[in-house]
Structure 1
Amino acid sequence: MKRLQINTTQNVKINFKLANLGQRVLAFTLDNILKIAYWYTAFYVFDFAGVLGRSSSDYWSRSAIFVIVMSPILLYSLVSEILMNGQTIGKKALRIRVINIDGFKPTISDYLMRWFLRLVDFNIFFLLAVYIYSLNITDDVLFALAAIAFFGGKFVGFISVIITDKSQRIGDISANTVVIYLKDEAKFSQTISEDLQDNYVPKYPNVVRLSDNDARIIKDTFSSASKRNDHATLIKLRKKIEEVTEIKSKEESDTIFIDIVLKDYNYYTQNM
């Protein structure tokens, strides 16, 4: 299994196992079973195709309605990864997750870039499906051609995952993201734990925007920089935390701020 090694600003080395092709294929399969189930329900259980066929709307209106009805398939990965901290239902089942190449939680723009380029390396099928639907062919032929377009459209992405050093598809390369295996997730939680008093009151609710990986990197870098009295690194770390969480420090020093952030993160993750 390929590994990703991240060097923090204080040369603290953090290793992640990259998800292999098998794990990504299985996660992909689970996610697409959900998509196909939605497709089948919309078209065959609720007879969406028949409703559109009987509609008096013009071609472009029908096509617009078609795109709206199919938008849950198109937006599934983007919305899931934003709301589920880099995971879809399939990724969660396989214990894999999308992270930034630097080890931090990706930003919304990272997720957006990654999702948008699925149109190139994974979701060409959706555009083909819209075209196929416009041909006004029989349901059986429509389903067969859509299935071919669906699986054929994934080929580019799979090849990219196989041949790149960090198992990245085109969207990952552009967004500077990788997909990691969370086998050591429990170990991550142990390394970021903090002792909190029973009456501890948190100050920064936005720390929940951090992931366990973020907190681990913050704690390792904070510990190393504090021992060395490296104020320049503490300033950089504070700025990075403010950028990711959209928190503005109210503390007298960067050390106090970062310490509170770590304690708040532990408080919220232990009490959610």
Structure 2
Amino acid sequence: MPAIDTSYLVETPEGIDLQVDVAGPVPRALAYAIDFAIRSGIVLGASLILMFANKIGIGIMLIVSFLLEWFYPVLFEVYRQGQTPGKKALGLVVVNDDLTPIALGTSLVRNLLRSADFLPFAYLFGLISMVLSGNFQRLGDIAAGTLVVYRSVPLSNGGLPPCVPIAPPISLALEDQIAIIDFTQRHQQLTLDRQRELAGILKEITRREADNGVEYLRNVGAWLLGMR
């Protein structure tokens, strides 16, 4: 039986192919379990503190539980680059289906629809949707136009040119990281003119002219690949 193809390919307007691997049900379930344990720990700690506060304590606990259930994932997805603690532990990240960073409205849609994914019990609808969608998207992902993908790119420095790894000058979105890594790994298949063209496209990131940008992009790509 052939292995399931989990790769997802997007071509940017600049003609750069970005490829990632989408996360299946098992790693997503493990990430959810970690986040659930964290939320449960917070609720337990708050209940121990508020257990002697009578009705006021109960009211505060209800508010805390509500906020954790509905806004815990939204907060992390929007302000922590698409990663809750559970997703970060598993190397996963939530992105739009064009691999751009997720926004507040998108995160709200995908998380509010978790109630539909949960039906009729134990996220059965969500699991069925993930199996049938082709890109492991639950109902919330389909409605919001999002994917859960692996953030880390397989480390491979074979065939790379001599590089001096340099950290990127700014915080990079996932699509920019993938583009630079792809540029670095494919340097042998690209003509020098094409490398200069791509370096010019990424000029806003490198802040260098095309000729100098080629070598600089390789160095940043080496850093992103873990050659530090």
Q: Please give the range of the TM-score, normalised by the shorter of the 2 chains.
A: 0.5 to 0.7
The alpha-carbon deviation at position 29 of structure 1 amounts to 1.8
Q: Is the 8 A contact 1:161 1:169 kept in 2?
A: yes
The question of whether the paired residues in 2 share the 8 Å contact of 1:78 and 1:115 is answered with yes
1:214 and 1:26 map into 2 onto residues whose CA distance is 28
Per-residue Cα deviation, 1:26-72 (whole angstroms, up to 9, x for no partner): 221221122122222222x1236x636147xxxxxx57x85367534
The structure whose Rg is larger is 1
Secondary structure at the aligned position of 1:180 is classed as strand
Q: How does 1:99-118 map to 2 (within 5 A)?
A: 99-102=95-98, 104=99, 106-109=100-103, 112-118=104-110
Q: Give 1:76-225 correspondences, 5 Å limit.
A: 76-82=72-78, 85-102=81-98, 104=99, 106-109=100-103, 112-122=104-114, 152=121, 154-181=123-150, 185-187=154-156, 190=157, 195-197=162-164, 205-206=169-170, 208-211=171-174, 212-219=177-184
TM-score (norm 2): 0.66
| Larger RCO (CA within 8 A; separation ≥ 6) | 1
SS in 2 for 1:168: coil
Q: Is the 8 A contact 2:83 2:94 kept in 1?
A: yes
Residues in 1 aligned to 2:159 and 2:106: alpha-carbon distance in whole angstroms: 28
Q: Which runs of 5+ in 2 are unaligned?
A: none
How far the C-alpha of 1:19 sits from its partner, in A, is: 1.9
Q: 1:166 to 1:67 in 2, by over 3 A?
A: same
Tell me, what secondary structure is at the counterpart of 2:219? helix
User: Are the aligned partners of 1:5 and 1:16 in contact in 2 as well (CA < 8 Å)?
Assistant: yes
Structure-1-length-normalised TM-score: 0.57
- Opposite residue 163 of structure 1, the aligned amino acid is L
Q: Greater share of helix residues, 1 or 2?
A: 1
| Residue 47 of structure 1 pairs with residue 50 of structure 2 | yes
CA–CA distance in 1 between the matches of 2:217 and 2:197? 18
Shift of 1:194: 6.3
Paired residue type of 2:147:
V
- Does the 8 Å contact 2:73/2:111 carry over to 1? no
Q: Distance in 2 between matches of 1:210 and 1:30?
A: 25
Percent identity between the two aligned chains: 18
